[in-house]
Amino acid sequence: MVATTLMPLVVGNWKMHGLSASLAEIRLLAAMLEGVELACDVAICPPATLLRSVSEALEESVIAVGGQDCRPEPSGAYTGDVSAEMIRDAGATLVIVGHSERRGFHGETDELVREKAAAAHRAGLVSIICIGETEAQRDAGNTLDVIRSQLDGSVPATSTAGNTVLAYEPVWAIGSGRTPTEEQIGEVHDVIRSHLTSGLGRDADEIRLLYGGSMKPQNAASILKIPNVDGGLVGQASLSAKDFLGIIAVFAPL
């Protein structure tokens, strides 16, 4: 079991995967965790089309449910968008904002990410704010400056340990099979912690910092033992109950 001063959090981001038949994996994971004394919190973020169904399937489970994105406004003429209030109404308690795929494919800025995180707080959701550098930024030696800038621009003043989680996802590692070294991950997480503390005060010491980027059962234990890594934001591996359980088991051997 990994030692940490915070309750770790393991979040599965299903991205644009999952149909009704995928609920079988959700129910299987819930069954595998039934009666298990977990040493971490667990959440699944399915696509919006499955939010209500997943919430109902996990109603009696320890697994929380989250959305993958939200619009800042509570309602309005925004065809195809989903508000934080809608996500909450569908049974979720968390929402991811600022994922690199949103920043990259949709041109989302730090300012917009900050507005989305504030909207999540308004709706009573925990915001999982994603930050991370591109390969070009890493190669140019700008990683830490990029991280500090994203923190300054993306974290709203409403953020507290109770309503905010930070997820560091090096863009070049997401879905690539490549993983930064433990030293690289530790350096960034240490900077995130110290920068949050200087900006938000003592409460920032209790904000959970997740690592995301090609995390899988084979490398989870070594990553999750790094100081200031308080859990993981898991992509591909979370689609399989067995693989996701292999990551959760780092905190609660099953």
Q: Which residues are catalytic?
A: 99, 169
What is the enclosing helix (H) or strand (E) of 144? Answer: helix 143-154
What is the Cα–Cα distance from 254 to 242, expressed in whole angstroms? 11
Query: Bridge-partner residues for 43, per DSSP?
Result: 11, 64
Q: Which residues have a Cβ under 8 Å from the Cβ of 97 and sit 6 or more positions away?
A: 69, 70, 113, 116, 117, 120, 127, 128, 129, 130
Tally of CB atoms within 10 A around 161 = 16
SS3 55: helix
Tally of CB atoms within 10 A around 70 = 28
Q: For residue 105, give Cα distances in angstroms to 64, 102, 184, 187, 222.
A: 27, 5, 26, 27, 31
What is the token pair recorded at 208? 């959970």
What is the Cα–Cα distance from 62 to 85, expressed in whole angstroms? 22
What is the Cα–Cα distance from 233 to 235, expressed in whole angstroms? 7
